[in-house]
Structure 1
């Protein structure tokens, strides 16, 4: 996730990005997108905004290496690690963020929470996609919807593409058609004030092909399966706060 943010910010331009990691392979992977790379936490900690993009179980150890001031902002994207845990271990202003991998292409969906979201953080987020401000209590479900959500969407794209191949489409053609369909549908939702049910109805002409397919979906448990996937991811996010 950290690498996706670095790549997106690089594409946006105008940002000084210092990538810090003890793993040389991780630094090599983002070197072309970062202003510079370092293995020294103290050097990265000089930034106005310090992003901690690590596994939840090592957040505490990382924070022990960062001597941040109240004038700085700590942005954590560690799933399940609550704001109060972070605030107890740093003097910096704390922002908890859950982005997703689409930050790489500047199409990120993100949820953010904190007592104060500084303008420089908002600018960073605007440059790599869309974000919403939520309450701390909503971060676990937001993690499930937008953080884990891309994998669920990839699964659905694959399912649609496979159906196209089964019907005789070339695999690459089916992949492009399915992926572009999701992209276009998502863009339509973001640009429209109409309710989703209304958008569905707009595609479903009477006795047409779409309504036949929608009847199959509505008679299935597809909605329950998707809701179950989101719920399972939400519960796991909550569990991460107590693991280790």
Structure 2
């Protein structure tokens, strides 16, 4: 009787240990946080939170079979060129160590299915959308441009975030040209922003001090002129960037267009 109970207990523990959630915890949680991340966790994180990993995977591909194939391949043969995370995250955390020899294909299949069905959570997606909205609002408040539209994205910023992705496959020549475009654009816009900031402060001072608003006319005109100049720089950057990329690369960037 004792042997039977012991066997049942052992069998139950084995079943529990091999459940999808437990497998994920055993094989992945030593590096990836499996809960909703918060700012206090960031300094000690060894790798991106699993919520973030799956968010980016879903952003890059929408077919479940492709997602599963990607997870199973990347876990065994991880490479920078295969990464779906932003380039700065790869630089910060590096490429994950291979799980080859540490996990079976069956276990990996179970984990992949569990990730696809449970990550990212609606709470995480909502959090990301809120952060993106706040980021866009802050960018709009501090924007030196006359036109601030989703249809006119900051392409070099999007590219830098996805710089090393193998699917994007930027050539060395393309990278050199894109970096030049970005440098010229950033230099010009940075100079304009400094001038706009000074003028805006002077306009605010005129209003706060209840001066004659006519005193602000020339400054307002100057701000408008500078913002028009910055907008032209932005449009030139966008046009030059698109000319450097091919159709396949542009297609891959469309999901990030509204970032």
Q: TM-score, normalised by structure 2?
A: 0.30
Structure number with the higher strand fraction is 1
Structure with the larger RCO, 1 or 2 (CA within 8 Å, 6+ apart): 2
Structure number with the higher helix fraction is 2
